[in-house]
Homo-oligomer: A and B are copies of this chain.
Amino acid sequence: MKITVLGIGMMGLPMARRLVVAGYEVHVWNRTPEKAKAVEGAHVHTSAADAARHADLVIALLADGEAVLSTLTDGGVAKAMRPGTLWVDMSSIRPAQAQAHAELLAQQNVRALDAPVSGGTVGAEQGSLAIMVGGEPADFERAAPVLAHLGRATWVGPSGSGQLAKLANQMIVGITIGAVAEALLLCQQGGADMARVRQAISGGFADSRILQLHGQRMIDQDFAPRARMTVQLKDMRNALATAQALGFSAPITTLFESLYASAAANGLADADHSALMLELQRRQTSPADQHRQL
């Protein structure tokens, strides 16, 4: 089985490496070709269309929906893929874009899955990514043995559903960060020890990966970016745009889009998303409040 990986970045590099180690014939392409050479044992192509031409399964790991569409059309990948090829887009793009790409590819008799991931570069290296897959169940079955080398893949519904699940993931992450930040700040404001509060409530109903990881970052005031504020803001905006397209009212996401936008506009654009705590803190001493205290 020949597998092509388009996009050899932070995620694509370790994933392509795992597929080589698993014994597949792997073809790779990257916009800047030097990075593609880092996948030892893979065939490096300077054209995306050439990389995809003889593949049985093509994985895309690109920046956004626009980059995916441009690679498919301007890059010639859609026409280069043989009928029967399986297109597995593991990039995080909007659900509507994933559906449009699937329709475009259906015209070439290319099957399409949207299969975005969660788990970061560590998950990509360890093959422990959460992979959320939308498309036809039969296509999912076909991709499953390959995806098994990359993480835990779950079929979640028809085309676009994988991207919906990824948005849901990002919404929950972003909102839970706000919950932990506002709760810990209130405790601090009242004189309690934030670190001890976090410890006290761990293991109970309030426990979460966010309380453990991002809660610790907040206590350590360690806002070096693992996931950037701007990326969290983009996720919130994609969720809102999707909600609007579906006629879905999302009052919680609406509030959080404004909180993350405000954080990004107030000097935190390149900080970790857990720095939403600093945005909530900043609001405690807004000019209006200071004026009231005078």
Interface residues of A (CB under 8 A from B): 95, 118-119, 130-134, 152, 154-158, 160-161, 164-165, 167-173, 175-176, 178-180, 182-187, 189-193, 196-197, 199-211, 213, 239, 242-243, 246-253, 255, 259, 280, 283-284, 286, 289
Contact = CB atoms under 8 A, between A and B. Distances in A.
Contacts of A197: 132, 156-157, 161, 164-165, 168
A208 B215 CA distance: 13
Given A179-B172, A204-B169, A161 B248 contact: no
Taking each of A157, A184, A202, A205, which has the highest tally of chain B beta carbons within 10 Å of its own beta carbon? Answer: A205
A23 to B, nearest CB: 27
A200 B130 contact: yes
Given A95-B190, A130-B203, A154-B196, 4 more contacts: A132-B197, A132-B200, A167-B187, A175-B178
Nearest to A131: B200
Contacts of A284: 247-249
Contact of A205 (B152, B210, B286): B210
B205 A165 contact: no
A134 B176 contact: no
B193 A156 contact: yes
Please state the number of chain copies in the assembly. Answer: 2
Contact of A165 (B154, B179, B200, B252): B200
21 contacts: A118-B206, A167-B183, A168-B183, A168-B184, A168-B206, A169-B201, A172-B206, A173-B205, A175-B179, A176-B206, A176-B208, A179-B252, A182-B250, A186-B246, A186-B250, A186-B253, A189-B243, A190-B246, A208-B209, A208-B210, A252-B259
A203 B130 CA distance: 8
A117 to B, nearest CB: 9
